[in-house]
Structure 1
Amino acid sequence: MPLPPTLHQLHLHWHVNRHQRAPDGRVLAGHHHHNVVVPLRKPLATLVSADVGEVVTIRARRRTLGVVLRAWEDEAAVVEAVRPQFPELPRPLHALRRGSVYTYVDGTSLAETEPAGRPVQNGTMRRIAGIFGRLATVDGHRLPPRPVGDAHEAWPDEGDSAGFLARLARHAEHRVHLPNRRRFGQLLDDLEVPRDAVARFEITAKSLTPRPFGLLHTDIHRSNLVVRPGGDLCLVDWELALYGDPLHDLATHLARMRYGKQERLRMVELWRQEMISRDLHARVAGMGGGRRDGDLARYLDFEYAQSVHADTMRAALSLPGSPSAAEFVAAAAAVRRALRRAQAPLDLVHVPTRKAVEEALRAWHARHHSVSGTLARVLGAVRRPMGRR
């Protein structure tokens, strides 16, 4: 007799959790998900209609600092929608409340084969441009219901590129910067980050050229590109997919790949050629080509500007209760890298020195952890039974 639906879900989730803790599982790091690659055992294999011993990836969403706009909560539904253009993608076997079970894609991360700091092969860049081309041909009617916005703001109308960038800027300001101002505001001030770092892009957005909207991955970087046996690339991790201006997708790619100057220009040209070859001329309208002109430059400026908040907060939160000198140095390096990239977009007169950034992080850490430590001691005293020391 089959279990009632609620009990069935509890039963299935219990076995998923067991697999996540299995000693033969391999953990893959990620900002947004905790991924475990593990062979299936009974009864989970039966419950997800797969073979015993088949290797799968179990993805569970992390409870992390939310710094990016999300259009869809169900990543698996997006993956199923794009499979006609991306048949190589891992197949969702079961959707969880905060993640999914996927078939495993055999291959090696591009971050391992062509790591940051080394030239990206021309063939690799052409394959990445081809991925953008396939994204551009995804049938919008196959996607989950389009994002409609939230209670405060509707999603921009089709082709409203100015509204799309303004929407990104408002999210960065009102859902990331301002809500975290109480905790990180003094740190950002110490680093001389302008308080309108992202809000200013609502004004910048007004001059953008309208372009047709489409599906965006928004996280195409080395760690999300799997090099398959034979050299083909498989794009994974679709949880941050959006629907909007395709130049935003190209900009996030350029920023997160950390290309050299000539590589960046080469990728922009390959992207342009890919759109034109598919008769998608409207997508390249107004994009420009250089670093400081055209709509692509505006999206790049926004990406670098909003990353200052995200990278600074992540660096601060990465520090443990008693950080070593090396941990402060590493955190400071991450913050300085974000500040250097945002120097032109934010009109910064100078970037603080490594020592100044490290001192700002040390001051933040002392404030934050002294408050946390005092609170912990107070709570401990309240919870301690009478008469015990």
Structure 2
Amino acid sequence: MRPEDKAPDLSGGTRRRAREIAGNQPLHGPLTGYYHETYAFVPRDGAFGTARMKLREPRADVIRFERRTFLREEALLTALAGRVRGVPEVVRADGVTLQRYIEGHTLGSRFRAGTAIPDTVVDQLLDLVRDLASIPVGALPRLARVAAGEREAEGDSHGFVERLALFAEEHVYTRNEHTFGTLFRDLGVDAHAFKRLRQRLDGIAERPFHLLHGDLHRENLILDPAGRLWAIDWELATFGDPLYDLATHLHLMRYPDRQARRVAERWTAALEHIRPGAARHWPEDLPRILGFKRAQSLFTDVIRSALDLHGGAPLRAVVPRLCAVLHAGAEPLGLASVPSPGRTATALTRWRRGYTP
């Protein structure tokens, strides 16, 4: 069983639709996922044999931490069929769009965070990188939800990361300040942190844009029984600076230092081979984009940690995780100090006492 198969049970419209399509076949889910409610099952009509499919629909009641580019994940996957290896098949059943459920194990269940992954898996990951690098802006049907006037100019890598920072400031921090502002301030984080973050990002080199997955981590990479690597959960895909996908991957994968360096070297070499200039000035710019990812995670994880605490997670589990995030994000955000575990626990406890959903 994969970690995504262990989520608590929920009920609602998505579950009813899944049950209608599955008929008397077993229904697995909801599968773990923050932005979507997902169920896996064998459709009752037998059109796909014994292959499991999954119905995946957006949750309406979640805080949006990432900017979305594409209207529908399934439309993007359909456009990528035959162009990008390891992309789940998209099918129609009973008037509903389904994705093929990839049987196998996530990398996270095989190789825990902080440990190396085999070179054979890295080789397949780099095949995916090459496929994505071959899809420049404008090469896909019009699937984007971002208006032309809100998109960065082709190759404007600084503008791309700046727009992501603006999203974090406006949609994550400011929009939720009435609920979490006191907690952020108690942890030593204020709105001026974004100004300091932008200063760190000044001068990023221009690079030609191409399609990015946006969330390549151990739970979104699956090895099937034949050892083939698949990438799932494409809802954060976008067009942008090629180094952003690499930075996101390194930040989330938590490779051992030696493998992280080797993956970065091979990844950038693969980019340059497909699209000359796609890894321009990567030794200088990758650390800064990695810093942005750590800063972005700080704002996301402060809110998620607080909500986990409200949902019943023990303080002893939340505090160490949040302290690690604060330490990682302190430098790119220019924080004067990082609160101790005791101060972090006090801040969380104060927030929980005053929180009214």
TM-score bracket relative to the smaller structure:
0.7 to 0.9
Q: Which residue of 1 aligns with 2:210?
A: 214
Distance 1:149 1:55 in 2: 33
Which residue of the other structure, out of 281, 288, 294, is the alignment partner of 1:298? 288
Q: 1:117 Cα deviation (Å)? A: 2.8
**Which 10-residue stretch deviates more, 252-261 or 79-88?**
79-88
Q: What CA deviation, in whole Å up to 9, does each residue of 1:83-102 have, x standing for no partner?
A: 222254222224999x9411
227 and 120 in structure 1: CA distance in 2 versus 1, 3 angstrom threshold:
same
Among all aligned residue pairs of Structure 1 and Structure 2, give the percentage whose two residues are the same amino acid.
30
Q: Which residue of 2 aligns with 1:82?
A: 80
Which letter maps to 2:278? R
Distance 1:20 1:332 in 2: 41
Which letter maps to 1:86? V
CA contact (8 A) 1:89 1:105 kept: no
Which residue of the other structure, out of 305, 309, 329, is the alignment partner of 1:319? 309
Distance 1:283 1:30 in 2: 31
Distance 2:14 2:293 in 1: 40
CA contact (8 A) 1:165 1:201 kept: no
Q: 1:219 Cα deviation (Å)? A: 0.2
Please state if 1:177 is matched with 2:173: yes
Distance 2:310 2:93 in 1: 33
Larger Rg: 1
Distance 1:107 1:154 in 2: 39
Distance 2:174 2:100 in 1: 39
Please state if 1:104 is matched with 2:101: yes
Give the SS at the match of 2:64: coil
Q: What CA deviation, in whole Å up to 9, does each residue of 1:70-120 have, x standing for no partner?
A: 0012101111122222254222224999x9411222221111111113222
Please state if 1:58 is matched with 2:45: no
Give the SS at the match of 1:243: strand
Q: Which residue of 1 aligns with 2:325?
A: 338
Tell me: higher relative CO, structure 1 or 2? Use CA pairs within 8 A at least 6 residues apart.
2
Distance 1:268 1:353 in 2: 33
Please state if 1:119 is matched with 2:121: no
Q: 1:140 Cα deviation (Å)? A: 4.2
Distance 1:73 1:13 in 2: 22
Distance 2:287 2:24 in 1: 46
Q: 1:32 Cα deviation (Å)? A: 1.9
Q: Which residue of 2 aligns with 1:360?
A: 347
Give the SS at the match of 2:192: coil
Distance 1:344 1:85 in 2: 39
Q: 1:170 Cα deviation (Å)? A: 1.0
Distance 1:355 1:95 in 2: 53
Distance 1:246 1:355 in 2: 40
Q: Which residue of 1 aligns with 2:70?
A: 72
Give the SS at the match of 2:88: coil
157 and 276 in structure 1: CA distance in 2 versus 1, 3 angstrom threshold:
closer
The 5 Å alignment of 1:1-389 reads 15-18=17-20, 24-27=26-29, 28-42=31-45, 50-51=47-48, 53-62=50-59, 63-94=61-92, 100-138=97-135, 140-145=137-142, 147=144, 149=146, 154-278=150-274, 280-288=275-283, 294-320=284-310, 323=312, 327-368=314-355, 371-372=356-357
Give the SS at the match of 1:207: coil
Count of aligned pairs between the two proteins: 343
Give the SS at the match of 2:57: strand
CA contact (8 A) 2:38 2:57 kept: yes
Q: 1:211 Cα deviation (Å)? A: 0.6
Give the SS at the match of 1:231: coil
Q: What CA deviation, in whole Å up to 9, does each residue of 1:144-180 have, x standing for no partner?
A: 42647459x6211111111111111111111111011
Distance 1:341 1:23 in 2: 46
Q: 1:215 Cα deviation (Å)? A: 0.5
Which letter maps to 2:43? L
Give the SS at the match of 2:70: coil
Distance 2:124 2:49 in 1: 34
Unaligned runs of 5+ in 2: 1-12
Which letter maps to 1:354? P
Which letter maps to 1:37? A
Give the SS at the match of 1:132: helix
Distance 2:187 2:150 in 1: 34
Distance 1:20 1:306 in 2: 39
Unaligned runs of 5+ in 1: 1-10, 289-293, 373-389
Q: 1:23 Cα deviation (Å)? A: 7.8
What's the C-alpha RMSD, in Å, of the aligned pairs? 2.8
Give the SS at the match of 1:93: strand
List, as ranges, runs of 4+ consecutive aligned residues in structure 1 with deviation greater than 6 Å.
20-23
Distance 1:194 1:87 in 2: 43
Distance 2:177 2:39 in 1: 34
Q: What CA deviation, in whole Å up to 9, does each residue of 1:261-314 have, x standing for no partner?
A: 222211111112212333x230111111xxxxx111121111111111100101
Which letter maps to 1:343? A
CA contact (8 A) 2:71 2:145 kept: no
Distance 1:121 1:22 in 2: 40
